[in-house]
Amino acid sequence: MQSNVKPFFLLLFFFSASLLFAAKIPAYYKVNGTSGSMSELTSKVKNALSTGSFKVIGEYNPTGNAEMKVIAFTHSGLTNIAVQFKDRGALGSILKAAIRKNGSSYEVSFVNPEYMFNAYFQEAISDKKSSLLAINEQVKAALKGLGTGLTAFGGELEADKLQEYQYMWGMPEFTDPVKLNEYSSFEDGLKIIRKKLEAKTGNTVLVYEHYIPGSKVAVFGVGLLDSKEGEDHFLSIIGEGHIAAMPYEIILQDKKATMLHGRFRFALYWPELTMGTFTKIMSTPGDVEDFLKALTKE
């Protein structure tokens, strides 16, 4: 009798461990029970992040709509970790929260950091997992305090699926970026991109610049305000509830400026998109590429 007990508990242990490993990670969280106007909630979100040791680096109104706002923020510990991942890891150093009018009230949401960390850092996340999960919990704690709790939404995926994410076979992955331009030096690229953003080329707006001194890495968050091919077009189709995924990014690493492929990035942050809806924004990845290439050309 006793000889059968040990194998039973071993089997139970491995079964439980497999369930834990297969646990799905939600793409977003919504803060329950928030109240206040757009300006009041903006102040509350910023104060909560500041108190939680995060630094707000930019904000804007997607589509130019005053009833929607995205607040981009970072954390020194996260930046130090992210820049160690050479394959555009610095993209994972920017976190985002959103405020949006939904009916008669405003809701606060944010991209789940753990979801993004797995997609951007991939299998190498294991080297920094404890530190990244600690930052993930700090974000949740800071924003949860604005209301009565958190509700997951927007789709969910297992960690291993996120680490090799594709919408479907043959589609781009994180490791398939779009090359925008290559410069004679990092400083030259920085100067050109800044100049184009200052001129608001293509009806774009600079939301943030996250320049990491000593690393030759800079990330630019770019609002796409063109009414025909920008956010106003594609967000109305794929859903404004996920605006915390915006703005789109250019990353300059050493001499090369790149962006995540639209067929990867849109699918990642709208994981519940049906193929039918996806085809309605078939031109959007190319449109975004055109906007961002215009910002990187001399």
- Whether the Cβ atoms of residue 218 and residue 210 lie closer than 8 Å to each other: yes
The answer, yes or no, to whether residue 69 has pLDDT greater than 70, is: yes
- Residue 6 is predicted with a pLDDT of 47
Q: What is the pLDDT of residues 103-162, one digit of tens each?
A: 999 999 999 999 999 999 999 998 899 999 999 999 999 999 999 999 999 999 999 999
- Residue 185 forms part of a structural domain: yes
The answer, yes or no, to whether residue 14 has pLDDT greater than 70, is: no
With H, G, I as helix, E, B as strand and everything else as coil, classify residue 82.
Answer: helix
Q: What percent of the chain has pLDDT above 70?
A: 93
- Residue 15 is predicted with a pLDDT of 47
Q: What is the pLDDT of residues 15-33, one digit of tens each?
A: 444 444 458 999 999 999 9
Q: Give the chain's domain count.
A: 1
Residues 6+ apart with CB under 8 A from 173: 164, 165, 166, 264
- Residue 112 is predicted with a pLDDT of 98
The answer, yes or no, to whether residue 226 has pLDDT greater than 80, is: yes
The model's pTM: 0.91
- Long-range contact set of residues 165-171: C-beta below 8 Å, sequence gap at least 24: 165/119, 165/264, 165/267, 165/268, 166/264, 166/267, 167/263, 167/264, 167/267, 167/273, 167/278, 171/263, 171/264, 171/267
- Residue 188 is predicted with a pLDDT of 98
- Residue 44 forms part of a structural domain: yes
**How would residue 270 be classed by pLDDT, with cut points 50, 70 and 90?**
very high
- Residue 217 forms part of a structural domain: yes
Instruction: Give the residue with greater pLDDT, 13 vs 269.
Output: 269
**Distance, CA of 13 to CA of 289 (rounded, Å):** 48
CATH number, domain containing residue 141? 3.30.310.70
- Residue 148 is predicted with a pLDDT of 95
**How would residue 13 be classed by pLDDT, with cut points 50, 70 and 90?**
very low
Average pLDDT, whole number, for the chain? 92
Domain of residue 188: give its range.
25-296
- Residue 256 forms part of a structural domain: yes
The answer, yes or no, to whether residue 11 has pLDDT greater than 80, is: no
- Residue 19 is predicted with a pLDDT of 40
- Residue 22 is predicted with a pLDDT of 52
Instruction: Give the residue with greater pLDDT, 21 vs 74.
Output: 74
**Distance, CA of 248 to CA of 264 (rounded, Å):** 12
Instruction: Kindly provide the b/e burial profile for residues 8-24, where b requires at least 16 CB atoms within 10 angstroms of the residue's own CB.
Output: eeeeeeeeeeeeeeeee
- Residue 224 is predicted with a pLDDT of 98
- Residue 12 forms part of a structural domain: no
Range 79-90 average pLDDT: 93
Range 260-283 average pLDDT: 95
